[in-house]
Chains A and B, each alone.
Chain A
Amino acid sequence: AQSVTQLGSHVSVSEGALVLLRCNYSSSVPPYLFWYVQYPNQGLQLLLKYTSAATLVKGINGFEAEFKKSETSFHLTKPSAHMSDAAEYYCALTPRSNDYKLSFGAGTTVTVRA
């Protein structure tokens, strides 16, 4: 079975500092991978997705993620945190097949200190 593990349920960063959110996946073949963001009392918004083109994927709001097959990882980064980045972040995957079930990690809460 395929699964996603997000390392660290809470991450606190200073405004202007690097944001690094870790995601590892378990899959027999490289899946499609996603990062979503959820602001308080809102739905999920897609930040970026990896579908086997470039391994470095750029998303919205200055975020990017790098797919590393050898490490089975898809970590999310942003060079300089902004107060508006405070939210819940989810890594998710779906198999490279006709199965479109999207499986999520447990989520990482990001707080940004002024």
Chain B
Amino acid sequence: DAGITQSPRYKITETGRQVTLMCHQTWSHSYMFWYRQDLGHGLRLIYYSAAADITDKGEVPDGYVVSRSKTENFPLTLESATRSQTSVYFCASSERGGYTFGSGTRLTVV
């Protein structure tokens, strides 16, 4: 199916573990984004990418790592998960000012 797919949909992990959230888009959009959604803060940009092999920090990048070796994939890695990273994570892609969001990954760090 065409669209933007995030996996897993739900994830529980322990403090200190590494976890990777996946994002895949089928349109070959140039731009991809990772946001976290927290009550009272709305959506805050973690990292974004303008093209394959080009990434840049957003508003809240600490504790996260991204890569983009292929245009269609933009994984987000929490190198050593902390409880403060418990959140809902949304991936998005964009081309010419139109944005499409994935369904989100609900991550709980215990």
Taking chain B's interface residues, is the majority helix, strand, or loop, or is none over half, making it mixed? strand
Q: How many chain B residues touch A (Cβ–Cβ < 8 Å)?
A: 22
Given A32-B97, A43-B104, answer yes or no on A101-B43 (Cβ-Cβ < 8 Å).
no
Measured between alpha carbons, how far is A92 from B94 in the docked complex, in Å? Answer: 14
B42/A100 in contact, CB under 8 A: no
> Hey, which chain A residues are within 8 Å of B90, CB to CB?
43-44
Q: How far is the CB of B76 from chain A (nearest CB, A)?
A: 16
Count contacts between A and B, CB distance < 8 Å: 45
Q: B68 near A: Cβ within 8 Å?
A: no
- List B86-105 residues whose CB lies under 8 Å from chain A: 90, 92, 94, 97, 99, 101-104
> Hey, which chain A residues are within 8 Å of B103, CB to CB?
42-43
> Hey, which chain A residues are within 8 Å of B33, CB to CB?
101-102
Selected interface stretch from A14-22, A59-67, A74-82, A104-112? A104-112
Given A43-B102, A43-B104, answer yes or no on A104-B92 (Cβ-Cβ < 8 Å).
no
Q: A72 near B: Cβ within 8 Å?
A: no
Q: With contacts A102-B45, A103-B59 known, what are 5 further pairs, Cβ within 8 A?
A: A51-B97, A90-B42, A90-B43, A100-B94, A104-B35
Chosen A-B contacts, 15 in total, with CB atoms closer than 8 Å, are: A6-B42, A34-B99, A42-B103, A43-B101, A43-B102, A43-B104, A44-B101, A94-B97, A100-B48, A100-B50, A101-B45, A101-B58, A103-B45, A104-B42, A106-B40
